[in-house]
Amino acid sequence: QSALTQPPSVSGSPGQSVTISCTGTSSDVGTYNRVSWYQQSPGTAPKLIISEISNRPSGVPDRFSGSTSGNTASLTISGLQAEDEAEYYCSSYTTSSTLLFGGGTKLTVL
């Protein structure tokens, strides 16, 4: 199975908003509401920041929000802060009983 498709990189200035897309198919993103997003800083384990499309785990700022439309999920980070600079991954369960990750998007805060 191919990874979900994410842009390799996005960037924004402090205070701005950025959106990262995650494109799958009708066999994953388009079928289930089980899309999640992770944030990973270099040398550390991934951190779950969004589950079930738009739910934020405890402690995750409400600057992070998620949505879907058809086969594409999106992560929006508003009020960008320097600490948001990291790699972001989406994931979705599939109709083949597997979990698929996106290729990752590097967010640079200018």
Q: Which of residues 85 and 87 has its CB atom nearest to another protein in the complex?
A: 87
- The distance of closest approach from Cβ of residue 30 to another protein in the complex, given in angstroms and rounded to an integer, is 16
Min. distance of Cβ 13 from another protein in angstroms? 26
Q: Which is nearer to another protein, 68 or 91 (CB)?
A: 91
87 membership: H or E segment, kind and range:
strand 86-93
Q: How far is the CB of 17 from another protein (least distance, A)?
A: 24
User: Which residues contribute to the site for another protein (CB under 8 A)?
Assistant: 1, 3, 34, 36, 38, 40, 44-48, 51, 57, 89, 91, 93, 96-104
Cβ–Cβ under 8 Å, residues 86 and 41: yes
Which residues are within 8 A (CB) of 32 and not within 5 positions of it... i.e. 6 or more apart?
A: 92, 93, 94
Q: Which two tokens stand for residue 72?
A: 């594409």
Where do we find the tokens 């369960």?
Answer: 93
